[in-house]
């Protein structure tokens, strides 16, 4: 599977969903996740993300490993719904892009 990591939080650019051939993204209040059961590892979303937040599971950086579990966990949350069309990013996305320690702001 592929995994959405910390830099998506508070950005949510959503360029990724437009290119997904299997509609495996789910949207929460300020983050997206990939459904690990649906993702076919095509990797087309990886270069589309302006926040460079998406990695193949085997390429997730050491400091982002916990996001493998977070994607799986939030996939089962009622607050996360399938998203198939790009929408406007969060208002301050460009300001938050690249900021460290955003996990504390994740809305589950």
Using CB under 6 A as the criterion, which residues of the chain lie in contact with ligand F3S when the complex forms?
4, 8, 11-16, 32, 48-49, 51, 53-54
Least distance from ligand F3S to the Cβ atom of residue 50, Å: 6
Q: Output 39 or 49, the one with its CB closest to ligand F3S.
A: 49
Give the integer Cα–Cα distance in Å for 19 and 59.
20
Q: Output 47 or 65, the one with its CB closest to ligand F3S.
A: 47
Least distance from ligand F3S to the Cβ atom of residue 12, Å: 4
Q: Classify residue 62 by burial, with Cβ atoms within 10 Å: 0-12, 13-18, 19+.
A: exposed
Contact 34, 24 (CB under 8 A): yes
Distances (CA, A) of 83 to 31, 51, 61, 79: 12, 18, 25, 12
Least distance from ligand F3S to the Cβ atom of residue 76, Å: 19
Q: Output 14 or 64, the one with its CB closest to ligand F3S.
A: 14
Q: Output 14 or 69, the one with its CB closest to ligand F3S.
A: 14
Give the integer Cα–Cα distance in Å for 104 and 50.
21
Least distance from ligand F3S to the Cβ atom of residue 43, Å: 13
């Amino acid at each position: 599977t592929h995994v959405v990591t910390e830099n998506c939080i508070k950005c949510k650019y959503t360029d990724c969903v437009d290119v997904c051939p299997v509609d495996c993204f789910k949207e929460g209040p300020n983050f997206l996740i990939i459904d690990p059961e649906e993702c076919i590892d095509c990797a087309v979303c990886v270069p589309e993300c302006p926040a460079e937040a998406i990695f193949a599971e085997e390429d997730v950086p050491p400091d982002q490993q916990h996001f493998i579990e977070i994607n799986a966990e939030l996939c089962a949350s009622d607050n996360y719904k399938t998203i198939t069309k790009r929408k406007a990013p969060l208002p301050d996305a460009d300001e938050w892009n690249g900021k460290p320690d955003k996990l504390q702001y994740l809305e589950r």
